[in-house]
Amino acid sequence: MMRFSNKTALVTGAVGGIGSAIVRALVAEGASVGMVDTNAVAGQALGAELTAAGHKVFYVSADVGQFAECEAAVSAIKTKLGTIDILVNNVGISPKQNGKALKVWEMPPQEWDTVMSVNLNSAFYMTRLVTPDMIQKRDGRIINMSSVAGKAYCDIVAAHYAATKAALIGATRHWAADLGEYNITVNGLAPGRISTPLLKMVSQETNDAVAQVTALKRLGTPEEVADACVFFASDQARFVTGQILDVAGGWLMT
Ligand SMILES: NC(=O)c1ccc[n+]([C@@H]2O[C@H](COP(=O)([O-])OP(=O)(O)OC[C@H]3O[C@@H](n4cnc5c(N)ncnc54)[C@H](O)[C@@H]3O)[C@@H](O)[C@H]2O)c1
């Protein structure tokens, strides 16, 4: 029995390392998935591949840091696949310069603002847009992609990234409280170091060093994050809300 038959999901940053693993895990359980990303070439390719495999997916190009683009994307996905039952606010960027996180006195205000918009505002925009339908249905699942860097100091990332990931933890608790009476759960994932394109922005030595201080002595895979996302999206997690689950192999345990 597939867990998400007759469910429609929306995933942001859907063609990235973790996003595409989440999309694959959701369609494998029968969900229809609206995929939102800025990478149109990879988005169309993933859409074509999954459609050919018999899955119901729809790719929309949008910069989720802009409210109007989120509005257009949600509207297009609703028309094509129906109202959203599962929202995965997965998108995230972690800009660096030559593999190094910029210090506060070096940070261009424009870069700070972009990270706020893409990592944090997008989650609010999407949640704001899909919750009226979820409230009406008295059913919904929202999963926010935080990071262990939002819970503990981690010198690999810059303050803008850590600030947005910490903010998502606060928002997760508030949205869980706001939406609980409508049978909508809101939870967050805090991945550790996961092998995706995002990781290639820092040196191999840095990633090897993280593996060494991780309890399980290795980096994680996108599929391991997707498994935890499927749990939060599923009926098995129906009495779990406002929680942040580390998927970090025991790195930066808090
Ligand atoms: N990889 C890790 O180790 C790790 C650790 C902790 C948290 N995370 C979080 O997991 C999430 C996914 O990360 P990933 O490693 O898969 O990254 P990734 O770089 O592989 O994928 C990010 C995706 O987001 C898309 N994107 C970027 N800006 C966008 C925008 N403005 N609008 C729409 N789409 C946009 C990119 O095109 C890309 O497909 C992020 O929130 C990230 O912060 C990752």
pLDDT in tens, 74-89: 999 999 999 999 999 9
How many angstroms separate the Cα of 108 from the Cα of each of 95, 102, 122, 182?
A: 11, 9, 21, 41
Catalytic site residues?
161
How high is the pLDDT of residue 69?
A: 99
Residue 12 tokens, joined: 């942001």
Structural domain includes residue 15 = yes
Which of 196, 208, 247 should be mutated for ligand 1, with most atoms under 8 A from CB? 196
Residue 155 lies in a domain: yes
Domain enclosing residue 161, as ranges: 8-247
d(CA 62, CA 226): 22
Helix axis angle, 122-137 to 159-179, nearest 10°: 10
26 CB near ligand 1 (under 6 Å): no
Q: Sheet harboring 8-12: ordered strands across?
A: 57-61, 32-37, 8-12, 86-89, 140-145, 184-191, 244-247
- Tell me, yes or no, whether 160 lies in a domain: yes
Write the DSSP assignment of 173-203 as a string of letters. Answer: HHHHHHHGGGTEEEEEEEE-SB-SGGGGGS-
For residue 2, being part of any structural domain is answered with no
185, 236 contact by CB (below 8 A): no
Residue 252 domain-assigned (yes or no)? no
Q: What is the pLDDT of residue 130?
A: 99
In-domain check, residue 182? yes
pLDDT of 199 = 85
Residue 64 within any structural domain of the chain: yes
Q: Per the structure block, which two tokens stand in for 69?
A: 């683009």
Q: Domain with 152 in it: what CATH number?
A: 3.40.50.720
> How many C-beta neighbours within 10 Å does residue 217 have?
10
Average pLDDT score over residue span 121-133 = 99
- The pick from 11, 70, 93, 165 for probing ligand 1's pocket by mutation, whose C-beta has the most ligand atoms within 8 angstroms, reads 93
The rounded percent of the chain whose pLDDT value lies above 70 is 100
Longest dimension (CA), the chain: 54
Looking from the CA of 183 toward its CB, the CA atoms found within 13 Å total: 10
Instruction: Please indicate whether residue 17, judged by its CB atom, sits closer than 6 Å to ligand 1.
Output: yes
Q: Is residue 1 part of a domain?
A: no
- 22-72, pLDDT tens digit by residue? 999 999 999 999 999 999 999 999 999 999 999 999 999 999 999 999 999
Total count of domains within the chain:
1
The CB of 191 under 6 Å from ligand 1? The reply is: yes
